[in-house]
C-alpha cells in the first residue's frame, strides 16, 4: 500500500508528513509534495482556472516533473475537491457555482463564529501579538489585481490566511479548527474571483475584526466575521460573471 501524503491544518505544505518515518520518505514523495503544493496554490489563486482542462503535457512543462508525480498530485487534489476526473477525459480543475459558494459560506459562518468565540475566551498575550503582527503584514500589501504576478497573489493569499488563522488560533477544538481551515481554503477561489471582478469598494473589515477580537468582544467579533463572509457572497453574486442568484436557484430546483 502506498504512503498517504498529509497536510497540516493551515493548508501549507510546511511540516507535511507521510505515514512512514521521515527517514523513509523518498525523493518521489518529496517531488509529489512540492508539485502538490504548487498546483494547489495555483488552483486556489485561480492561476489554474475553474473547469480548466489539466493536460499532462502542459503540466509537465509548467511544473518540471514527471507524469507519475503529476498523476499522484492530481489524485490528492481530487480527494480535496479541487480537481475532478472522468473516465477517458482526464483531469480538470473543479468547477465553481454560487450554489456551492452559498453552501460553503453557511458552514463557514457556523465554524468561524464558534471557533472565534472559543478563541477569544482562551486568548493569550502571544495570541494577541500574532493577531497584531499578521494584520500589520496583511495591511502592507494592497489586494492583488488580475494582472499582478503570481508571486504577488500567492504572498497576499499567504498573509490573508495567516491573519484569519491567527484570530482563531487559541480555539480549544482541534477538529473545529481543521474543518474551518478546510472550508476557508475551499472558499479562496471565490475570494479571488470576487477581488478580481470587484466594482464596489468595501471598508477595511479586517481592521474592524482585529479591533473587536483584541477588545475580547465576542458578540461584536462574531457578528463582524459573519457579515464579512456574507458580504463576500453578495458581492460575488452581483459582480463575478457567471455567478448569479438565479443560477443557484435553478440548481436547487
* pLDDT at res. 18: 38
Same domain, 128 and 241: yes
Q: Give a yes or no: residue 179 inside a domain.
A: yes
Res. 28 pLDDT band, cuts 50 70 90: low
Residue 238 and residue 117 in one domain: yes
- Give the pLDDT band (50/70/90) at residue 9: very low
Dump pLDDT digits (tens) for 68-90. 889 999 999 999 999 999 877 88
Percent of the chain predicted with pLDDT > 90: 49
Structural domain includes residue 230:
yes
Which position has the grid cell 465576542? 218
With respect to residue 220, please indicate whether it lies within any of the assigned structural domains: yes
Does a structural domain hold residue 1?
no
Q: Could you tell me if 228 and 171 lie in one domain? A: yes
Domain that holds residue 134: 98-252
Of the residues 75, 93, 111, the one at which a domain ends: 93
Give CA separation, 182 vs 7, 110, 162, 178, in Å. Answer: 11, 14, 14, 6
Same domain, residue pair 132 and 28:
no
In a domain, 10, yes or no: no
Which DSSP state fits 84?
E
**Looking at the predicted structure, is the pLDDT value of residue 250 above 80?**
no
Tell me whether residue 129 is in a domain: yes
Name the least confident of 39-53, 61-75, 121-135, 142-156. 142-156
Domain with residue 26: its CATH number is 1.10.10.10
Task: Tell whether 164 and 57 lie within a shared domain.
Answer: no
Of 226, 120, 223, the residue nearest 171 (C-alpha): 120
How many Cβ atoms from other residues are within 10 Å of residue 117's Cβ? 17
Spatial CA neighbour of 76 closest among 152, 144, 7: 7
- Interval 30-57 mean pLDDT: 88
Task: State whether 160 and 106 are in the same domain.
Answer: yes
Instruction: Give the chain's domain count.
Output: 2
pLDDT in tens, 176-203: 999 999 999 999 989 888 887 777 777 7
Average pLDDT over residues 119-135: 98
Of 2, 92, 77, nearest in space to 35 by CA: 77
Domain end marker among 35, 70, 93:
93
Angle at 42 between CA 36 and CA 46, to 5 degrees: 145
In a domain, 207, yes or no: yes
Final residue belonging to a domain, choices 53, 72, 93: 93
Amino acid at each position: 500500500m502506498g504512503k498517504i501524503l498529509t497536510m497540516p491544518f493551515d493548508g501549507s505544505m510546511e511540516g507535511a508528513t507521510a505515514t512512514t518515518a521521515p527517514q523513509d520518505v523518498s525523493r518521489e514523495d518529496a517531488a509529489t509534495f512540492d508539485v502538490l503544493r504548487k498546483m494547489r496554490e495555483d488552483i486556489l489563486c485561480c492561476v489554474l482556472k475553474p473547469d480548466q482542462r489539466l493536460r499532462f503535457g502542459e503540466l509537465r512543462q509548467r511544473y518540471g516533473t514527471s507524469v507519475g508525480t503529476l498523476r499522484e498530485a492530481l489524485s490528492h487534489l481530487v480527494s480535496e475537491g479541487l480537481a475532478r476526473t472522468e473516465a477517458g477525459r482526464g483531469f480538470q480543475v473543479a468547477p465553481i457555482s454560487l450554489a456551492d459558494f452559498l453552501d460553503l459560506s453557511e458552514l463557514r459562518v457556523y465554524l468561524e463564529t464558534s471557533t472565534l468565540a472559543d478563541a477569544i475566551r482562551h486568548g493569550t498575550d502571544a495570541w494577541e501579538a500574532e493577531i497584531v503582527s499578521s494584520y500589520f503584514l496583511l495591511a502592507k500589501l494592497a489586494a492583488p489585481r488580475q494582472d499582478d504576478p503570481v508571486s504577488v497573489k500567492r504572498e497576499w493569499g499567504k498573509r490573508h490566511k495567516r491573519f484569519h488563522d491567527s484570530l482563531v488560533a487559541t480555539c480549544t477544538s482541534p477538529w473545529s479548527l481543521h474543518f474551518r481551515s478546510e472550508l476557508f481554503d475551499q472558499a479562496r477561489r471565490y475570494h479571488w474571483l470576487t477581488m478580481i471582478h470587484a466594482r464596489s469598494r468595501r471598508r477595511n473589515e479586517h481592521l474592524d475584526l482585529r479591533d473587536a477580537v483584541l477588545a475580547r468582544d465576542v458578540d461584536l467579533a462574531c457578528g463582524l466575521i459573519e457579515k464579512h463572509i456574507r458580504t463576500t457572497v453578495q458581492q460575488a453574486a452581483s459582480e463575478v460573471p457567471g455567478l448569479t442568484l438565479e443560477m443557484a436557484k435553478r440548481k436547487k430546483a
